Structure 1
């Protein structure tokens, strides 16, 4: 620090200009880096770090040092550098760690400063002079700093106050984690050692004060001051009017609050401003259409309509308060939910948190192009999808004790948080990336996360108030496409018959708008007439119609931002906007707004827009560039080019303002920052709204395919990348060599699906391959594999013994005591079943597993079980069109697993009877001697099995396919069947059947074993919820239906077989819903292939027996995995999904648990 003649203390760099100061700061860091190598403290002090005894710069002045280094208003970069040098004197560190420090300091300074105004030579001379002055001032201000550093070194080297090796080795990590916001490893006890170190320093020493102050700042900065998130139930959910977002200032940004003003207007306004109509005609009126240079689709601007009208709603009727925003200043989807209690009440059903069918809360969406209204409907539907899913999952029994209104409010509030979260992440990961032209990059602007370092945390969640200047900035009418312009022309010509746009008086236009508003407000939102679309009996619009509107909007290129680009019927709207900005709001000028944003002000009209037709017209209207009003200044400014980093291509000023406003809207929202958590949204809700749709880096595809099931292929660019026209998307995907993964064609109408309700029809469909085929195909040579299984001596006894022994072993090793007495144990039934079924598969197919042989070969049982489950999940649900939002992930995971499994099976085939067989047998024998039994070489069961396969004469590639498909069908089916079976027995009303199973489990005669198998299959038949694979018609055929009717299926149509038709049709028995212990009704297990079915019918009773033999067997309080119902192929059918422990959804119980409790004998 330097001391002035008046005794004031100021920054040592204050005498230099800001440009030179930046250069000197860079040189300052370079000198520190040169001194970082361990050496005497006196040498380090010569780097010229100024003493810190007061604020950086004169009182009341903002520090000119880089903000990212600022600790507070009173501390700046120099203090951090003092800490840097202090830590550097702790001599025991590594070159790598010091390199991290140097790199970080260099990067931080480079990121926050521009190029230095001085040459390298001049900067060096000035820097050396400044450092010498600083060193002199430091010495005069405090003659103890050098001595304190030397004392510190002596203390560390000679005393036993601290474990110096441990402290010194962690010192660089302390610096790095502090500056970067990384986590400090508290297990190293570094904080405690620093406290011990401070206690041994002289209390009056300067270095003690510096380190002590830094410690206080660190622990003070750990917590927000004041608190930003509160536990009260009244603060958990968004309020209808958006209030209480900032708890300390509840009305900030709420509906009905005034717009804020960002820019102070100081430029004298001309007495006679030009007529707004003339301004429109000369600067804004569209002369012809120019397509958007980045190939942006009109759907992006329809989505922009949702965003803009969600945060801006200005009443323009005479006498109204136009300075007040009728909507909140938050992205809280008031266009869907309404902007106050009354509007919200009108769109809600009042039960289970649901909205009325296809209801939206803002009538203005009906006055916009059809795709805008369609997007509002999709967001409304998505709320109901979420609310139903939350209720089904019922995470941690969240809704068990709630009824009626309380349950409705809880579900509604939570679903709204999740729906708004999806809306936000579409903005961040679909919308803004197109604006920035990042071309399918995984990177995206994320302003939400905590940003914290030694200087403290960057504010977030402290509320927002949208400014009137930004209401003007978002008038993006030039981007209206030709199709949307035509719709607008037709609509407004119907409202003003026989009139041209220039003939319509603005007040006449307001009158017509007021009449339309009243028409909608007098009707129930679930009955609103949107563009003449018809509603069905439930009040829903046709999925195919909405999908058609979305597809056409994706194909429709938007207009370019430019002067003279606004469609003609926007004339009265633009005039009203200019009048409001000029008279009601008295906004700043164009140059004043640019100065506010930190941009260079324009010196001439030709600099603002080089097109002489535009610049000359503007100059004639305004005379001086400083008189140019904000509204026409923003709308008619020269547009940015389309380049990487610039995709929207608006005017330069709009481009700068968009990102600033986006940060304020998102980072300022408490519900998107501090309270955006699994606590409030639930784990499954949080995952749903933050996980990108596979196949893209965004979530727009998830919204489209979830709310319009079956209308888009799962890999359609029309759903995954809808904010660019298809031609642009295709070019990007080709450049990235990803085009083969996508369907680039215009999506065809949805496939026609039939749901078959009779057992006779299902039997024909499943068994007759001439008419129907399953997709994806999982067929294989079942006859050969059945023969191979039968070639194993006593194969049924082998299977029974294997499962009985190993289930008992795994149960004993994986269970833990459930009571203090130890008489009750608890175990994860699914873990036991998955482990043993994978072990059997490994044995039958002789797959190597890591273990006692000491070699890292193959997969563990847990890995194999999970790997085989993914292809089965895809085989079961991958062909249902309604599951487009799930299909990509299922297919991708399946393909990865299949590739890995094929490699294992191929290697095994070459080591059983091939040239490598003797080698592997030798390795196995050596392994057995050294480390105990292993499974490198094939066992007896596998050798019999494979010998039959080789005897068939089929190629190894064919055998790999046969083995792989049988493994997939067999292994993961165990847990699916047994989970549903045990759930049935654990029901209170089935206690007698559970007792009977316990008694049978203690018997071992053939009759008892047969009865157990029948009872097991009966329980599964009655409780099965998973349908078999979908089938597709190869020929036109008539299927028998219930009541003797027929369903006529055409080529390509899909057929869905519900479990009720397969297992519980009255054709099967007189009482198909009744448990029949001696019944022999057919049960289809897995994919229904014969070899797997044969093994499962033997294995499942053997597994169940080891559980049922224990008394007191019951479900643990945690229950079974939650099941949610997703859209099925027909409106009345749903597809069940099991929710994993991490909130993911699968057709099988993957990565989930089902704990059972039993008595230990």
Structure 2
């Protein structure tokens, strides 16, 4: 089998199903097995040269040690050999050829390289040889199964059918003809149809050419109409009118065709027809409670579910159920909607909603909730509702800051308030929904250690016998499910104590059995009246104190959450309901029996498709329970739904069963969850970036890194600094920590998590003058910077100086490359005229990465030859992500951002270290023969000198190697300098150009245009000073924080003193860093002649020196053009996240997909200019 060298790609990225390579490793193999990287580059090289017999001696020379030495030294790599052989297209005999062109010394060096590299990568991955072999075998089997599968799709059959008809107008294959309608439907509607193949057009042309009266014509015509009719919903499910965009206060208009379906103040629906005759003398509800439900002892939940899950369940249950208890009103009405729309927060009608809103900017009143009933719930239920209130305001502010598509530009006053409120509510409810789907239900199903989750929202079509599964058609909660969700048996000991104290204070000196349902309803009505006339922003909730802004203490709310996570819930079981639920349970039984006349237990099971019970013992095998029930009801078919659900035998805790309620409840809640979510228009047809914005959609759907759910995002974004970014208390709060720790151990990822009980939030101090305290802050005896990106700045500066005329060389590099890229990547802005448009950040990022590649000798991908390196765009991101983590990674009030920053940083640094390590060894001679060989092969193939180090890199590395430092030390120094240098360019340049292109700075822009026409040293120095000054007055990025190693007093502006204790953080704001009141009389004013020092990036000396040369050289290429201005799209949006105090915020740049970054990444900033 001869390999085809037409596509130079990695062996591990070959297309599945390729004719030349029937067995292919999946793309994930490199990620799964890091040690495969040592073979990747070689296989890529050999793949290119394998088809040319004249080059096979080179293939032999390079592959023999890589494969045979690996086989002998590392048996767990043997499974790779056959795939390398296939990729090479070489016979085994080829490998026995004489290697006359390669010296013994070279082979020994290659052997050492392979041996060391495999050991390094295997150890880094934490894999033993045995583990690696097992994982490799699994991956290879999966690859073989995938790649050897023969395509036998309906598309192929459909094409065959059309081919036969086109040839002869006759189909000889009767079976194929009978399948024609199904083939058409599945082929043309199955998704991913390649319309460039003109399949539909072939069909239409065929139909036009055959007799209309023929059977095949009628069959295909009918199938065609079925297809084009089925493309669109009938009737439409989503409308564009502004009145349909947002959720209404009462939940109406969810189904536009039936607006009242599921709205508040509508009757409960009934799911089950009752046909079983009701006994004349049903047992007394109090007796039923005493014999079947009353808690006799506490039994911890078998799955270790925390009480926080059941307090979250309180939010869900009270969101969709609010039975009318008004005097004279019928209890068959639900005062809340039948949708998961957070009416417990927003209110269930327009008046309740008005009371919780501020009326400005779409905001809710601080820490306000809309449902007085939550006052009668344990503190953690109330805390969760308050967190959703904070989440709403967090989202509303974000939406306005991002201003996606400039949608808020023309709005003000009430229209702006309504728009922001409506979108923020959609996003907040979307977050609520995805916490249910990805945190709550996975614990219920005992699958929260898996990325898989039940997703009832997706479009489901072409189901055999069903067709499309409807969604977004509305919902109405049923009375049967109001009974099903009485989960009082799961109340924890801590929450039971709270309830005992709360109700004892309402009924002093009385026992639960002495309080009647009527008295309980009256007491609840009194509580309601206490809150009815009070502003929700002033409600006294659990005696928590509000501050001047009306907010509760973060520490108080966090303590409530921590305690609830630590508090194990009770097991579902008969005789498990706490005593003070007695009047509530009696009231529930009376309502179910008298007002609603619900079905029996067996009728409900029959409705759900479950086997009906034949005896009380089958229902619950506990003799104390089934004997009591049999005495009360006599016949199992008489067992009422309420006690039947509450006292049924509980499911065991096994995979797939985590909640462990009664068997019937377990089945019912899944059906109801599907109805509540899939039936909601705002969670299906209208859950889109169009309605939520891209930023809002991402916020409400993206899991919190470190977990598979979004509960951690809610906790850490609303209680900043109260939990570490990797705390199991925040990331997995619905199980008690011991159970979470056990799960993480089994997954072998425990070391990535903080399992300790969360400590109080760190104290932060914000200083006003950096110059006043910089000496102390820079003293490593007093302060430390985390994460550390320090390196030997003196050595790197000295190495830079060894490059002959380095400043001129660097300036020329940036100037020429920027000019070249601008010409190549600018496009006409209008059909006529000389105006052009270019992406500033694209140019800056590319050139800065090109310089880093040149200085540090990193291989780059050329346009032909061997593509072994990273593109400038890839390298920029590889270095930007570690810089982002270095800048923001230790702000513990940014926990919801930190995990992803750290994870991305570590991934990038591992890859970069390998590149630097390899380059060092090509300079010191150890690997130079290998790299020379590879570069020569690339040159033979017509590639540029993209692999070997250039002269600048050689001079730089020779100076480093002469220092006598170890290779590991030099790798660290090089990496940290690269991180500090590269991505800082775009951060600084973006702020500079934003400032100069402001309308009020037109005069300064004109001065820059004049300077840019000159290249003499004085003009370039003047441009440098103006650039630095523009950055000084406009910078919004704080310095890396400092952490105290011992107690110290920091001097500050105006003689102030800052008392810092061990462990405290010091926040150095951009105003303290760049607009220091001690360095200027008017620090906010721009001065072209200013000589105030400006710290760039992390402030390291080598990067600062390079940037002060590079920035003017780059900026000049833009400023030299007339008519320079910002494109209408404007600069990347900036949002402000929580800082160390209410007055200090952390800026984030919003990417094109709505993601947030400390640096301008994955975004653009377009400029328009007149071409010269």
Give TM class, smaller chain.
Answer: 0.7 to 0.9
- 1:695-747 per-position Cα deviation (integer Å, ceiling 9, x unaligned): 00000000000000011010111000000011111111111111111111111
Looking at structure 2, the residues matched to 982 and 339 of structure 1 have their Cα atoms a distance apart, in angstroms, of 49
Aligned length: 1019
Looking at structure 1, the residues matched to 928 and 623 of structure 2 have their Cα atoms a distance apart, in angstroms, of 84
Give the direction of change, closer, same or farther, for the CA distance of 1:1099–1:499 in structure 2 (3 Å limit): same
Give the direction of change, closer, same or farther, for the CA distance of 1:161–1:875 in structure 2 (3 Å limit): farther
Give the direction of change, closer, same or farther, for the CA distance of 1:952–1:989 in structure 2 (3 Å limit): same
Pick aligned residue for 1:768 from 745, 761, 779: 779
| Counterpart for residue 40 of structure 1 | none
**What's the secondary structure of 2:957's corresponding residue?**
helix
More divergent stretch after superposition (1041-1050 vs 938-947): 1041-1050
Pick aligned residue for 1:1124 from 1128, 1135, 1138: 1135
Is the contact made by 1:100 and 1:176 (CA closer than 8 Å) also made in structure 2? Answer: no
**What's the secondary structure of 1:508's corresponding residue?**
helix
| Counterpart for residue 379 of structure 1 | 388
| Counterpart for residue 398 of structure 2 | 389
The answer as to 2:953 corresponding to 1:966 is no
| Counterpart for residue 433 of structure 1 | 442
Looking at structure 1, the residues matched to 755 and 162 of structure 2 have their Cα atoms a distance apart, in angstroms, of 68
| Counterpart for residue 685 of structure 2 | 674
Pick aligned residue for 1:315 from 324, 328, 332: 324
Deviation, structure 1 residue 511? 0.9
Looking at structure 2, the residues matched to 294 and 210 of structure 1 have their Cα atoms a distance apart, in angstroms, of 57
Mark the runs of 5 or more structure 2 residues left unpaired by the alignment.
1-146
**What's the secondary structure of 2:1154's corresponding residue?**
coil
| Counterpart for residue 595 of structure 2 | 584
| Counterpart for residue 96 of structure 2 | none
Give the direction of change, closer, same or farther, for the CA distance of 1:325–1:930 in structure 2 (3 Å limit): closer
**What's the secondary structure of 2:1146's corresponding residue?**
strand
**What's the secondary structure of 2:1140's corresponding residue?**
coil
**What's the secondary structure of 1:578's corresponding residue?**
helix
Is the contact made by 2:154 and 2:183 (CA closer than 8 Å) also made in structure 1? Answer: no
Looking at structure 2, the residues matched to 666 and 823 of structure 1 have their Cα atoms a distance apart, in angstroms, of 54
The answer as to 2:1101 corresponding to 1:1090 is yes
Is the contact made by 1:981 and 1:1019 (CA closer than 8 Å) also made in structure 2? Answer: yes
Looking at structure 1, the residues matched to 226 and 149 of structure 2 have their Cα atoms a distance apart, in angstroms, of 27
The answer as to 2:854 corresponding to 1:846 is no
Is the contact made by 2:865 and 2:944 (CA closer than 8 Å) also made in structure 1? Answer: no
- 1:83-141 per-position Cα deviation (integer Å, ceiling 9, x unaligned): xxxxxxxxxxx995665579x99xxxxxxxxxxxxxxxxxxxxxxxxxxxxxxxxxxxx
Map 1:734-1133; keep pairs closer than 5 Å. Answer: 734-852=745-863, 854-921=865-932, 924=935, 927-928=938-939, 931=942, 933-1133=944-1144
Looking at structure 2, the residues matched to 566 and 317 of structure 1 have their Cα atoms a distance apart, in angstroms, of 26
Give the direction of change, closer, same or farther, for the CA distance of 1:754–1:1057 in structure 2 (3 Å limit): same
Looking at structure 2, the residues matched to 1150 and 494 of structure 1 have their Cα atoms a distance apart, in angstroms, of 57
Looking at structure 2, the residues matched to 681 and 886 of structure 1 have their Cα atoms a distance apart, in angstroms, of 21
Deviation, structure 1 residue 160? 7.9
Give the direction of change, closer, same or farther, for the CA distance of 1:945–1:234 in structure 2 (3 Å limit): same
Pick aligned residue for 2:291 from 251, 265, 282: 282
Looking at structure 1, the residues matched to 162 and 1100 of structure 2 have their Cα atoms a distance apart, in angstroms, of 77
Mark the runs of 5 or more structure 1 residues left unpaired by the alignment.
1-93, 106-148
Give the direction of change, closer, same or farther, for the CA distance of 1:341–1:788 in structure 2 (3 Å limit): same
Pick aligned residue for 1:197 from 189, 198, 206: 206
| Counterpart for residue 455 of structure 2 | 446
The answer as to 2:740 corresponding to 1:699 is no
**What's the secondary structure of 2:333's corresponding residue?**
coil
**What's the secondary structure of 1:513's corresponding residue?**
helix
Give the direction of change, closer, same or farther, for the CA distance of 1:409–1:800 in structure 2 (3 Å limit): same
Pick aligned residue for 2:253 from 229, 244, 248: 244
| Counterpart for residue 524 of structure 2 | 513
The answer as to 2:415 corresponding to 1:406 is yes
Looking at structure 2, the residues matched to 333 and 153 of structure 1 have their Cα atoms a distance apart, in angstroms, of 54
Looking at structure 2, the residues matched to 496 and 548 of structure 1 have their Cα atoms a distance apart, in angstroms, of 28
Deviation, structure 1 residue 282? 0.4
| Counterpart for residue 80 of structure 1 | none
**What's the secondary structure of 1:426's corresponding residue?**
helix
Give the direction of change, closer, same or farther, for the CA distance of 1:211–1:1099 in structure 2 (3 Å limit): same
The answer as to 2:654 corresponding to 1:643 is yes
| Counterpart for residue 273 of structure 1 | 282
| Counterpart for residue 125 of structure 2 | none
Coordinate RMSD, CA, aligned? 2.3
Is the contact made by 1:608 and 1:637 (CA closer than 8 Å) also made in structure 2? Answer: yes
- 1:872-926 per-position Cα deviation (integer Å, ceiling 9, x unaligned): 0000000000110000000000000001100100000000122332553465466
Is the contact made by 1:101 and 1:172 (CA closer than 8 Å) also made in structure 2? Answer: no
Is the contact made by 2:189 and 2:227 (CA closer than 8 Å) also made in structure 1? Answer: no
| Counterpart for residue 146 of structure 1 | none
| Counterpart for residue 7 of structure 2 | none
More divergent stretch after superposition (995-1004 vs 311-320): 311-320
| Counterpart for residue 193 of structure 2 | 184
Deviation, structure 1 residue 761? 3.6
Map 1:350-365; keep pairs closer than 5 Å. Answer: 350-365=359-374
**What's the secondary structure of 2:1122's corresponding residue?**
coil
- 1:998-1034 per-position Cα deviation (integer Å, ceiling 9, x unaligned): 0001112222111111100000000000011111011
- 1:258-292 per-position Cα deviation (integer Å, ceiling 9, x unaligned): 10011111111111111100000000000000111
Pick aligned residue for 2:165 from 156, 160, 163: 156
Give the direction of change, closer, same or farther, for the CA distance of 1:693–1:501 in structure 2 (3 Å limit): same
| Counterpart for residue 78 of structure 1 | none
Map 1:28-43; keep pairs closer than 5 Å. Answer: none
| Counterpart for residue 142 of structure 2 | none
**What's the secondary structure of 1:603's corresponding residue?**
coil
Looking at structure 1, the residues matched to 399 and 228 of structure 2 have their Cα atoms a distance apart, in angstroms, of 39
Looking at structure 2, the residues matched to 458 and 98 of structure 1 have their Cα atoms a distance apart, in angstroms, of 28
**What's the secondary structure of 1:382's corresponding residue?**
helix
Is the contact made by 1:760 and 1:1040 (CA closer than 8 Å) also made in structure 2? Answer: no
Is the contact made by 2:396 and 2:421 (CA closer than 8 Å) also made in structure 1? Answer: yes
| Counterpart for residue 623 of structure 1 | 634
- 1:1023-1080 per-position Cα deviation (integer Å, ceiling 9, x unaligned): 0000111110111100113332211101111010001011112211111111111111
Looking at structure 1, the residues matched to 936 and 605 of structure 2 have their Cα atoms a distance apart, in angstroms, of 81
- 1:473-498 per-position Cα deviation (integer Å, ceiling 9, x unaligned): 00000000000000000111111000
| Counterpart for residue 19 of structure 2 | none
Give the direction of change, closer, same or farther, for the CA distance of 1:1036–1:321 in structure 2 (3 Å limit): same
Looking at structure 1, the residues matched to 826 and 181 of structure 2 have their Cα atoms a distance apart, in angstroms, of 45
Map 1:64-213; keep pairs closer than 5 Å. Answer: 99=152, 156=165, 158-159=167-168, 177-178=186-187, 181-213=190-222
Looking at structure 2, the residues matched to 603 and 959 of structure 1 have their Cα atoms a distance apart, in angstroms, of 77
- 1:1072-1130 per-position Cα deviation (integer Å, ceiling 9, x unaligned): 11111111111111111010000001100110011101111110111000000001122
| Counterpart for residue 130 of structure 1 | none
Is the contact made by 1:774 and 1:1032 (CA closer than 8 Å) also made in structure 2? Answer: yes
| Counterpart for residue 338 of structure 1 | 347
**What's the secondary structure of 1:714's corresponding residue?**
coil
The answer as to 2:663 corresponding to 1:661 is no
Deviation, structure 1 residue 985? 0.3
Give the direction of change, closer, same or farther, for the CA distance of 1:975–1:652 in structure 2 (3 Å limit): same
**What's the secondary structure of 1:453's corresponding residue?**
strand
Pick aligned residue for 2:238 from 229, 232, 238: 229
Scaled by the length of structure 1, what TM-score is found? 0.86
Is the contact made by 1:881 and 1:1129 (CA closer than 8 Å) also made in structure 2? Answer: no
Looking at structure 1, the residues matched to 970 and 168 of structure 2 have their Cα atoms a distance apart, in angstroms, of 74
More divergent stretch after superposition (582-591 vs 372-381): 582-591
Deviation, structure 1 residue 172? 12
Give the direction of change, closer, same or farther, for the CA distance of 1:98–1:321 in structure 2 (3 Å limit): same
**What's the secondary structure of 2:1050's corresponding residue?**
strand
Give the direction of change, closer, same or farther, for the CA distance of 1:595–1:924 in structure 2 (3 Å limit): closer
